Structure 1
């Protein structure tokens, strides 16, 4: 008898992709499984708005930057849990990570944006003078915006930190040592992403360049100079609690912990 495989999936914007796979031996079982599928709409779990799955509409060049500005590179976007609007950053027109002719260290531009979820209009824009290369973004349940700044400036005075901003752009908190990369407790070396747990605990994915370390000697040299590849946990008030992981490919190790959810 032929084996039929039925794959059921639900996609939700701003949440996880859920995928369930089930082996079914008979057509009757396949029909029974199909009858148990609940049709739903993919979209925002915050506002209830959405599109059928698969979504038939793609909006290109969404998000209206201020006059004269162009999108630089970005690797971060999040949905505000308080109103469903969209937070993102762009690297102040820079085309390369922290080393381009224009980056957020040597311009007066604000890298952090809040966009209206329907129109793409800018609702907030702030963050100038604080970061070198923003890399990860998260919005906590109070609507505060967290940014990981993964590279440092030449003067050693900015970067390798995680910053917390109020919804209006006031800097409320910073983790790590400004411009000082390292692997000591509470210190960062190229932090990639940040997420805030339901209890307010702060988690940071730390370490970006281990993906280029392909030999044991390269890993040893990287660790010696302070390279990291780990997850660090902090209390809601910013006190270091613990870290886990390290550079490698064995169980419990990371090459580059690039994103957190």
Structure 2
């Protein structure tokens, strides 16, 4: 059953069996960290993160989808929720209810100032919440499902007004059946997946698993600076960007799903290197401290789900260890879609198909 669930969760990934020989196994233990009241549930985990105080935040798919019909637009909400827990995993509160950008949770990151950022592939938006839980910044424009309007106003074209063209410096954020949003240059995404920051506070968005296949860079106030990337297999091209990480030297690591590799760029987008050996990379987390490592989750392949694992990788691409397999039991993972590694020896792993967050203690 687990094989079926993971396959359904990763139809867009593709993949083939990867070689596992010669990679040391890392000893580890796990525990279910979240404690919720009987009437509060965690669904498919899009993202999990912990702030400097140990507070845990989970962005997940467990709400009630609905649509609000207007004269000219249909505003829809797919049902994602943002929960906060204390350091022990005790449920504290939900915030962000009815935020326009909550639709299909796919990621969550916490920046050095403890702001919480949600990434939503359905809304094609990245939302920043300050430490009080207030919306502080929104990147991207939510696509509009205008065509489902039952009664268009007199004189309107069938299905609503035409979609706006993609802005200069960006691409139409509503491709693949969604109307593109208009806005400032670079502001339209197509199913974004991740966000990261350099030392100056500039914002980088993985854009994403839709049609754009680019990395967009903004200043710390959210003003568009530049983008790079396109669809393909060459250096600097992508077939789905699922995760980002930025090291202490401002090198940008991008998980290239379809090409089964990690590409490395400088902060201006110049290609530096690439490496594979981590299967289908679905999420990355970069440790802190003097010697940084990447933890990379392999999504699992259709012909080898038992090979799903989390890899520990040096920044030069050398895989130094791995742990975990696919499944529903303890020490197994069901599409590990998010990793928090603020503490290098104690990770938080959010799972899509198992609807849980495991605390992983590495030996």
TM range (shorter): 0.5 to 0.7
In the alignment, is the contact (CA less than 8 A) between 1:138 and 1:196 conserved in 2?
no
CA drift of 1:164 comes to 0.5
CA drift of 1:67 comes to 3.3
CA drift of 1:86 comes to 2.1
Q: Is 1:148 aligned with 2:133?
A: no
Q: If each structure's strand is expressed as a fraction of its own residues, which one has the higher value? A: 2
Unpaired runs of 5+ residues, structure 2, are: 1-25, 67-75, 145-162, 173-185, 246-363
> Aligned Cα RMSD in Å?
2.5
In the alignment, is the contact (CA less than 8 A) between 1:115 and 1:122 conserved in 2?
yes
In the alignment, is the contact (CA less than 8 A) between 1:114 and 1:125 conserved in 2?
yes
Partner of 2:91: 122
Superposed counterparts of 1:104-183, under 5 Å:
105=77, 111-117=81-87, 119-130=88-99, 131-151=102-122, 159-179=123-143, 183=171
Partner of 2:327: none
CA drift of 1:203 comes to 0.7
In the alignment, is the contact (CA less than 8 A) between 2:63 and 2:81 conserved in 1?
no
Compared with structure 1, are the counterparts of its residues 78 and 198 closer, same or farther at alpha carbon in structure 2 (3 Å cutoff)?
A: farther
Partner of 2:213: 229
* TM-score (norm. length: structure 2): 0.44
In the alignment, is the contact (CA less than 8 A) between 2:78 and 2:104 conserved in 1?
no
Q: Distance in 2 between matches of 1:228 and 1:189?
A: 6
Query: Counterpart of 1:75 in 2: which secondary structure?
Result: strand
Partner of 1:252: 236
Q: Distance in 1 between matches of 2:91 and 2:119?
A: 21
Q: Distance in 2 between matches of 1:196 and 1:126?
A: 23
Compared with structure 1, are the counterparts of its residues 259 and 179 closer, same or farther at alpha carbon in structure 2 (3 Å cutoff)?
A: same
Q: Distance in 2 between matches of 1:252 and 1:238?
A: 24
Compared with structure 1, are the counterparts of its residues 161 and 106 closer, same or farther at alpha carbon in structure 2 (3 Å cutoff)?
A: closer
In the alignment, is the contact (CA less than 8 A) between 2:63 and 2:78 conserved in 1?
no
Unpaired runs of 5+ residues, structure 1, are: 1-52, 152-158, 210-226
> What number of residue pairs does the alignment pair up?
172
Query: Counterpart of 1:76 in 2: which secondary structure?
Result: strand
Q: Distance in 2 between matches of 1:245 and 1:69?
A: 41
Q: Distance in 1 between matches of 2:202 and 2:238?
A: 21
Deviations 1:24-47 (A, max 9, x none): xxxxxxxxxxxxxxxxxxxxxxxx
CA drift of 1:207 comes to 2.3
Answer 1 or 2: higher relative contact order, Cα 8 Å, separation at least 6.
2
* TM-score (norm. length: structure 1): 0.59
CA drift of 1:179 comes to 2.3
Q: Distance in 1 between matches of 2:209 and 2:37?
A: 31
CA drift of 1:93 comes to 5.0
CA drift of 1:106 comes to 5.6
Q: Distance in 2 between matches of 1:75 and 1:178?
A: 18
In the alignment, is the contact (CA less than 8 A) between 2:189 and 2:207 conserved in 1?
yes
Q: If each structure's helix is expressed as a fraction of its own residues, which one has the higher value? A: 1
Q: Distance in 2 between matches of 1:229 and 1:121?
A: 38
Compared with structure 1, are the counterparts of its residues 200 and 179 closer, same or farther at alpha carbon in structure 2 (3 Å cutoff)?
A: same
Structure 1 or 2, whichever has the larger Rg, is 1
Q: Distance in 2 between matches of 1:251 and 1:149?
A: 27
Partner of 2:254: none
Q: Distance in 2 between matches of 1:173 and 1:74?
A: 23
